[in-house]
Amino acid sequence: RTVYVNGEYLPEDQAKVSVFDRGFLFADGVYEVTSVLGGKLIDFAGHAKRLQRSLDELQMANPVTEDELLEIHRELVRANGIEDGLVYLQITRGAADRDFAYPKEATPTIVLFTQAKPGLADSPLAKTGMKVISIEDQRWGRRDIKTVQLLYPSMGKMMAKAAGADDAWMVEDGHVTEGTSNNAYIVKGNTIVTRHLGTEILHGITRAAVLRFAREAQMVVEERPFTIEEAKAADEAFITSASAFVMPVVEMDGQPIGSGTPGRVTARLREIYLDEMRKAAV
């Protein structure tokens, strides 16, 4: 594989980052994951915009312009022959003598690589639906910044696997925040409920697009907190993320949601999302 590191395209075994990099020592870095379908990038502009917001919140310099970033994404997709897959991008504050205070002068580290995922939009889970469990949300309080600090979500994924499930929905003060790496939704009748934006959840790029399409299709959207009990009593549930798109959830803590099979509203949103985003792909 060809990867990109600080201005260079290199074979992956020749790419290097300093042991003093603050991404490695402090998780002082941010990332984005952009899907590739048919060799084209899905919602690149959305990811570039959120990247800038994450960097601004951490007072971190952006080493590339949006045009340069697009060019790097495209070059890696081309060099690695990606039809369907992902482009991962990470920017850290860079290498500096270890100190909690941000260094006065550090050159950001920027790394991009691709992952091939043949048939990304035809995942079997889209047909069967996912099983989720509920767990306590024990992450830090600035989940709106997309940092590389992902250990608790990783633990949550392991808890889900140990319980024979596919993922975990996290709960804080009795209300669902989000999935380990996705935004969470329930459907009751024609109404879609998902948590409102704030510092408690990541502002999903897919979430923004899906809610726009839902409103355009005359569905009712309520952005408010909901409970696990409400989820268990819902007609349908689903998650969204840049790599899973819209994915049905059919079981919560071992109990079926609705009919226990992927719902009609979920299926329709997935179809609209994929159709529209493929059309707009760059």
Whole-angstrom Cα distance, residue 255 to residue 173? Answer: 22
Within a 13 Å sphere around the CA of 236, how many CA atoms are in the beta-carbon half?
Answer: 21
Query: Would you list the DSSP string of 244-265?
Result: TEEEEEEEETTEE-TTSS--HH
**Could you give the string, one character per residue 179-198, with x where binding to ligand PMP holds by CB under 6 A and - elsewhere?**
--xxx---------------
Among 54, 114, 149, 206, binds ligand PMP (CB under 6 A): 206
Distance of closest approach, residue 181 Cβ to ligand PMP, in angstroms: 4
**Both tokens assigned to 268:** 């329709």
Task: Determine the Cα–Cα distance for residues 122 and 125; give it in Å rounded to an integer.
Answer: 8
Name the minimum Å distance from CB 155 to ligand PMP: 13
- Comparing CA positions, the residue from 32, 72, 84 lying closest to residue 53 is 32
Catalytic residue among 131, 146, 157, 232, which?
146
Closer to ligand PMP by Cβ: residue 99 or 271: 271
Distance CA 166, CA 157 (A): 8
The only residue of 204, 248, 258, 262 in contact with ligand PMP, by rule CB under 6 A: 204
Query: Closest approach of Cβ 228 to ligand PMP, in Å?
Result: 17
**Contact predicate 230/202, CB 8 Å:** no
Nearer to ligand PMP, 158 or 190 (CB): 158
When the beta carbons of 129 and 204 are compared against ligand PMP, the nearer one is 204
Work out the burial of residue 175: count CB atoms within 10 Å of its CB; fewer than 13 is exposed, 13-18 middle, 19 or more buried: middle
Nearer to ligand PMP, 80 or 240 (CB): 240
Q: Per the structure block, which two tokens stand in for 26?
A: 């402090």
Residue with tokens 């669902």: 176
Interface with ligand PMP, residue 167, by CB under 6 A: no
Closest by alpha carbon to 135, among 86, 178, 95, 193? 178
Q: How far is the CB of 96 from ligand PMP (least distance, A)?
A: 27
Tell me which residue has tokens 């999302």: 273
**Start-to-end Cα distance in the chain:** 22
146 catalytically annotated: yes
Angle, helix 44-57 to helix 66-79, in steps of 10 degrees: 120
Choose the stretch contacting ligand PMP; rule: CB under 6 A; options: 22-30, 56-64, 235-243, 251-259: 235-243
Residue 205 binding ligand PMP, by CB under 6 A = yes
> What is the closest distance, in whole angstroms, from the C-beta atom of residue 144 to ligand PMP in the complex?
10
CB nearer to ligand PMP: pick between 79 and 274: 274
Q: Is 35 in the site for ligand PMP (CB under 6 A)?
A: no
Binding flags for ligand PMP, 238-257, as an x/- string (CB under 6 A): --xxx---------------
Q: Which of 51, 132, 133, 202 binds ligand PMP (CB under 6 A)?
A: 202
Question: Given the DSSP bridges, would you call strands 183-188 and 175-179 parallel, antiparallel or unpaired?
Answer: unpaired
Q: Which residues are catalytic?
A: 146
Where does this chain bind ligand PMP (CB under 6 A)?
33, 178, 181-183, 202, 204-207, 240-242
